[in-house]
Every structure is written in C-alpha cells, then in structure tokens.
C-alpha cells in the first residue's frame, strides 16, 4: 500500500501516533513516525526530511497540530543545494487538527485569529521551555480520555522550546500538493473556526470528526480511515 510519514505536535513525541500506526498497519500501509526535537523549527523540518528519505515514495505526509506547520515546510522544494532525497517524494499532505500557515505567517499569529483555545490559560513557562499544566492536560488536549490516561499523557509531555510558535514560514507545500484536513469539531486547543479557515484556503478535502484536539489518542481508527482515504490522492509509483 502507501508509505505514510506521521509528524507529531508540541508537548508530544512520535509515540502519540502508536494507536493510529497499529490501525494503518492493519490496513496494509507502511507508516513511520518522525521524532521532533522541539528545540528549533529548522531542526524539526530536517528531522522530517531525514525520515522521508528512509521511506519509499510517493509518500503521504501527515501532521498533527504544530506538525502541520512542519510538513508544509518539509515537503517544499528549496533548491538543489540541499541534496535531500526527501524533496519531491511527498505526493500529498494530510492535516489532523493541524496548523497550516501561509507564507509569512506563524502559529502564534494564527492562534490569535479566533477565541476559544484553552492553551493560553494552561500553558506553563519553565525557563526557556513550556508545557501544559499537568492538572489540565486532559481538559486542553483530549477531554474524552479517562482520567488515568490523561494523567499518563500529562506525565510524558515533552518540553517545548519557547519561540517555536513564532517562526514565520516560507512558501508552504500545500500550495502545490493535494491536501486533506481532519477537522476536530470539539477542539479546545485549536478552535474549529480556525481549522475551517485554514482548510478552506488550502482547498483541502475536509473530513469533520466530533473529537477533541487529540483524535490520535481517542479515535485512532477514524484517523487511520481518514489517512487511508487521503492515500487515494497519491500519484502512482514507488
């Protein structure tokens, strides 16, 4: 079937895709999760490109939350001087409640367009890093999770370097590739109105799901079905 590279969001790592990976494998796909350092945007993009280079193309590149910003840059052709085997391999993009800034925009700027996110209320600054207040992690990210599971998610958060959300991006790859968007209508982290706005200007094929910000954790079968459908827009080849 298809090669799929999965990119996580802030305060998380590649293991956030575990249940989705199991579902995708059952469908016959070959998913791989990239691991972001969450230290600098350029390093996160480079990490995704390194992962792409290990997967046979054409590839569906999928990003959750902040991962959406990263995939829009990682799939962009930036010139032969990079020498990256990853560039040009991506055949389509898929966003799971993902940020999709246009050229010159940032996550921070997009986040200010619509009210409703609980992140500003519950983000904690720890030196040069941030995390979500552990007592409120489930409320912000995945309110459907049982309390025990939310506590685990809170405990394994990855600290995120301050400033990642302020990076202004270049010309995004979504201008040139087929795009798919899984819109989470009960999201308390990225307002559905913002998701709908970003998906519309991308011309994305939109699927709506009654979910919190983390359907990866709460609705993995439906996320896998969304990604399986998105693979239909990949060009033939391999």
At 81 the pLDDT is: 36
Each residue's pLDDT expressed in tens, for the chain with a length of 238 residues:
789 999 999 999 999 999 999 999 999 999 999 999 999 999 999 999 999 999 988 999 999 999 999 999 999 865 433 445 455 789 999 999 999 999 999 999 999 999 999 999 999 999 999 999 999 999 999 999 999 999 999 999 999 999 999 999 999 999 999 999 999 999 999 999 999 999 999 999 999 999 999 999 999 999 999 999 999 999 986 4
At 86 the pLDDT is: 53
At 80 the pLDDT is: 35
Q: Check: CB of residue 210 under 8 Å from CB of residue 182.
A: no
At 1 the pLDDT is: 79
For 145, list phi and psi in degrees, rounded to 5: -65, 145
Those residues with Cβ within 8 angstroms of residue 123's Cβ, 6 or more apart along the chain or in another chain = 130, 131, 132, 133
Q: Check: CB of residue 160 under 8 Å from CB of residue 131.
A: yes
At 209 the pLDDT is: 97
Other beta carbons less than 10 A from residue 192's beta carbon: 17
At 88 the pLDDT is: 72
Residue 228 tokens read as: 């399986």
Q: Is the pTM of this model over 0.75?
A: yes
């Amino acid at each position: 079937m298809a090669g799929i590279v999965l990119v996580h969001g802030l305060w998380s790592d590649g293991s956030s895709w575990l249940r989705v990976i199991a579902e995708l494998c059952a469908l016959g796909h070959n998913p791989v999760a990239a691991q972001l350092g969450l230290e600098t945007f350029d390093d996160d993009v480079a990490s995704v490109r390194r992962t792409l280079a290990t997967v046979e193309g054409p590839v569906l590149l999928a990003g959750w939350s902040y991962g959406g910003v990263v995939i829009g840059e990682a799939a962009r052709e930036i010139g032969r001087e990079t020498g990256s085997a990853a560039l040009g391999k991506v055949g389509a993009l898929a966003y799971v409640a993902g940020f999709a800034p246009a050229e010159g925009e940032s996550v921070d700027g997009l986040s200010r367009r619509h009210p409703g996110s609980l992140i500003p209320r519950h983000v904690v600054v720890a030196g040069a890093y941030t995390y979500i207040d552990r007592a409120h992690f489930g409320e912000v990210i995945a309110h459907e999770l049982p309390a025990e599971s939310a506590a685990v998610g809170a405990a394994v958060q990855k600290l995120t370097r301050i400033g990642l959300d302020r990076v202004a991006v270049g010309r995004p790859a979504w201008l040139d590739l087929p795009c798919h968007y899984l819109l989470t209508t009960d999201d308390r982290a990225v307002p559905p109105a913002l998701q709908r706005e970003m998906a519309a200007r991308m011309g994305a094929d939109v699927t709506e799901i009654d979910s919190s910000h983390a359907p990866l954790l709460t609705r993995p079968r439906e996320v896998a079905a969304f990604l399986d459908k998105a693979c239909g827009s990949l060009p033939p080849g391999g």
